[in-house]
Structure 1
């Protein structure tokens, strides 16, 4: 979304779990998805627009940090962080995420995922003006919304379509946008659809939208920790931040489409997740049928667990999923796990590295590995 705003002539600021950005440049690294990040962005001199990631923790603890928003988006709602701040179920989490609608301006638009059943059900009782997106043109919510003259964005064949009361236009071919990985990254197709609706809500024209999304790739600089691909001497490395089953299933769906002689998964998890949450994460990772597993400790995220408790739990759950014990190693942190994975790799291998910590250090290790070979 930052790229689209810049393409349209705005000076964007942004706050997210990755840090603070001004005019597409990172100025602070860290988790700024709470109220502090939003305030810091909005106080930045020289920006004319803001893209604010508002995490459920900040919403529950301190409410929304901004008012009179022109557009807001709910991409999806997944089972994660249950048991915290009164959220005990998926319906609780959905209600929390939809709090963003309460800060919309009078003419503000709420963009919602029509492929998410929980979002669809919750939205039935809303009075706000909704815009829907879907991977399927025959999605019943999309069809009904289009018939009523509402705004929507969806995939029809290989094309991305924007529809409104007065217009139906082809935005682009799915494969035109690098972030979709030639259409294989379904979750990023959805992200493009949502971004298009946000852009349209801000009166950004189709030419600028297409140019912006066509220039936005999957490098670490552009989209850190979100499906970053590296290749060297026949080795494919995928670096991602996925840390719940929903996100991991999406990235596994993508990387499963690549041929590989051998596959490795590096994984860790925060200690405040329940045993069942960790099992579900491992189950999602095991769908890749890895030949090697690197289970990593994350000392800064122990959160009440004993040292090595989480990686040992991960190991036991992979064994339950049919992975041989001698194919699983435990490392003391994410970076040492990444270095171990790189040492193991041979031509034809696929490495899926799920880095919840030490992202900058891990990327440096990967870049050095790719440069040295």
Structure 2
């Protein structure tokens, strides 16, 4: 259920095979009915905003009693074209732009590469997520200029978007922390990391206790495609399975894809992170799929601070315009000039 009876805007971005086998939900079609509750709660004068690229989501338009707007990464989608011919509302990604369409009339909001959330256009799933966001803003009365400014100035970071593509640049390597914890999340993360340059990509991953064996196998299989080396850890919250069971499921998935993939098993997330940092090669990137995001972020920030302390020792020589006067201690250039004038 949901924590409210009605809303003004309901958005469904996708239906993926996650949480199956829980609470009587065993098929993706059943899961779609659960997610379909959101657009069904929209008031008659509100909007259900649906993903036209997902068949199950697009079908939800049939069960709503409100206005419908759709979005697609393909401006030539037949569903988008049909909506435009009906003078309906849609959003598309076209020629590098996040664009709102009222009928066939295009209103370009912003270039995707200029939106920090997209990492220069590399994170295509973020572009897809922005499409319904601008539709929501538009139907709620935000101007195109306000949306453009907001998108261009919202910076993904550990404080603004904890656990969502948090990048940390160390001197010799990078760490990317993300909450990807299911096959769909891993696929989206894969699309992004495939666009990143690195001498080596090291993944830190784990199985999920309340997911099916095949789901955890698939997490391992996708990781085998993504990473040159994999560290398998265990979640803090095991959700009904043992560490050994979850590690075995993920490892099985890895070996089904690449029997020769280098695998290191370190159940503790903290120890796994420290091991990856200690053994990181110059130019490499560590992709950390975390389960307790606040704790992982705190550790990565601590390691970053420790490195900065060692690399960038601060002394009085670093203070601009500061120099020593023989007998009168430390003075600025301006103070010395004034003392000479006197």
Which category describes the TM-score, using the shorter chain as reference length? 0.7 to 0.9
**What is the CA distance between 1:323 and its match in structure 2?**
4.6
Look up the match of 2:214.
276
**What is the CA distance between 1:337 and its match in structure 2?**
1.5
Does structure 1 residue 314 correspond to structure 2 residue 250?
Answer: yes
CA RMSD of aligned residues (A): 1.7
Structure 2 matches for 1:114-125, cutoff 5 A? 114-124=52-62
Look up the match of 1:172.
110
Look up the match of 1:238.
176
Does structure 1 residue 75 correspond to structure 2 residue 13?
Answer: yes
Query: Hey, what's the Cα distance between the residues in 2 that align with 1:339 and 1:137?
Result: 45
Query: Hey, what's the Cα distance between the residues in 2 that align with 1:360 and 1:101?
Result: 32
Structure 2: gaps (5+ residues): 308-342
Query: Hey, what's the Cα distance between the residues in 1 that align with 2:223 and 2:153?
Result: 31
Look up the match of 1:90.
28
Residues 143, 161 of structure 1: alpha-carbon distance in 2 compared, 3 angstrom cutoff: same
* From 163, 167, 173, the counterpart of 1:225: 163
Does structure 1 residue 353 correspond to structure 2 residue 288?
Answer: yes
Aligned residues: 307
SS at 1:308 equivalent: helix
**What is the CA distance between 1:167 and its match in structure 2?**
4.6
Residues 351, 79 of structure 1: alpha-carbon distance in 2 compared, 3 angstrom cutoff: same
Partner deviation per Cα, 1:70-126 (whole Å, 9 max, x = no partner): 111001110011111221111111111010123212211011111112212343454
Partner deviation per Cα, 1:159-187 (whole Å, 9 max, x = no partner): 12111149531111111211011111111
Larger Rg: 2
Look up the match of 2:229.
292
Q: Is the 1:297–1:310 contact (alpha carbons within 8 Å) kept by the matching residues of 2?
A: yes
Query: Hey, what's the Cα distance between the residues in 1 that align with 2:285 and 2:138?
Result: 38
Look up the match of 2:296.
362
Q: Is the 2:243–2:267 contact (alpha carbons within 8 Å) kept by the matching residues of 1?
A: no
Query: Hey, what's the Cα distance between the residues in 2 that align with 1:166 and 1:264?
Result: 45
User: What TM-score does the superposition give when structure 1 sets the normalisation length?
Assistant: 0.78
Q: Is the 2:13–2:57 contact (alpha carbons within 8 Å) kept by the matching residues of 1?
A: no
Look up the match of 1:339.
274
Look up the match of 1:187.
125
User: What TM-score does the superposition give when structure 2 sets the normalisation length?
Assistant: 0.85
* From 47, 53, 75, the counterpart of 1:137: 75
SS at 1:353 equivalent: strand
Look up the match of 1:58.
none
Query: Hey, what's the Cα distance between the residues in 2 that align with 1:274 and 1:329?
Result: 23
SS at 1:65 equivalent: coil
Q: Is the 1:299–1:307 contact (alpha carbons within 8 Å) kept by the matching residues of 2?
A: no
Q: Is the 2:236–2:291 contact (alpha carbons within 8 Å) kept by the matching residues of 1?
A: no
Deviating more after overlay: 123-132 vs 340-349: 123-132
Look up the match of 2:98.
160
Structure 1: gaps (5+ residues): 1-62
Does structure 1 residue 214 correspond to structure 2 residue 129?
Answer: no
Q: Is the 2:13–2:129 contact (alpha carbons within 8 Å) kept by the matching residues of 1?
A: yes
* From 289, 292, 305, the counterpart of 1:371: 305
Look up the match of 1:34.
none
Query: Hey, what's the Cα distance between the residues in 2 that align with 1:168 and 1:299?
Result: 48
Structure 2 matches for 1:8-19, cutoff 5 A? none
Look up the match of 1:18.
none
